[in-house]
Amino acid sequence: MTRAGSVIAGRYAIEAELGHGGMGTVYRAHDRVLDEAVALKVLRGDAASAPEAVGRFRSEVKLARRVRHRNVCAIHDYGEDGGLLFIAMELVEGVDLRALIHRQGTLPAEEAWSAALQIADGLAAIHEAGIMHRDLKTSNAMRDAAGVVRLMDFGIAKEWGKGGLTAVGRVVGTPEYMSPEQVRGGALDFRTDVYSLGILVFELFTGVLPFTGANPTDVVLKQLREEPPLDAGPGAALPPPLREVLRRALRKDREQRTPGVEQLRGELWQAWQQSAVAMPPELLAATFAPPPAETPAPVETPPPAPRARVVPSPHAPAPVPNGARAPDWEEEFEPAEPAVARWRKSLSDPDPRRRFEAANALAELGEAARPALPELTRALRDEATFVRSAAALALKRLRGR
Domains with residue ranges and CATH for the chain? 7-89 (3.30.200.20), 94-286 (1.10.510.10), 288-315+333-398 (1.25.10.10)
- Print pLDDT tens along the chain (401 aa): 577 788 988 899 999 988 776 667 888 999 999 899 998 888 766 555 566 666 666 665 666 677 788 898 887 877 888 778 888 888 888 899 999 999 998 899 999 999 999 999 999 988 888 888 778 899 989 999 999 999 987 654 444 444 444 444 444 578 999 999 988 887 788 899 999 999 999 999 999 999 999 999 999 999 999 999 999 999 999 999 999 999 999 999 999 999 999 999 999 999 998 998 888 888 888 887 654 444 343 333 344 444 444 444 444 444 444 444 434 333 344 467 888 888 899 999 988 878 888 988 888 887 888 888 888 888 888 887 778 878 888 887 776 65
> How is residue 11 annotated by DSSP?
T
Q: Taking the mean position of all CA atoms in its chain, how far away is CA 28?
A: 24
Question: What number of CA atoms fall less than 13 Å from residue 329's CA on the CB side?
Answer: 0
Give the residue ranges of DSSP H helices in 281-335.
Answer: 281-287
Q: Taking the mean position of all CA atoms in its chain, how far away is CA 358?
A: 27
Please report the beta strands in 237-393, taking only residues with DSSP state E, as ranges in sequence order.
Answer: 310-312, 333-335
Return the CA Rg of the chain: 24
Q: Which residues are catalytic?
A: 135
- Measured CA distances, 129 to 11, 198, 236, 249, 335 (Å): 30, 21, 36, 21, 35
Tell me the residue type at 310.
V
Element (H, E) at 247: helix 240-249
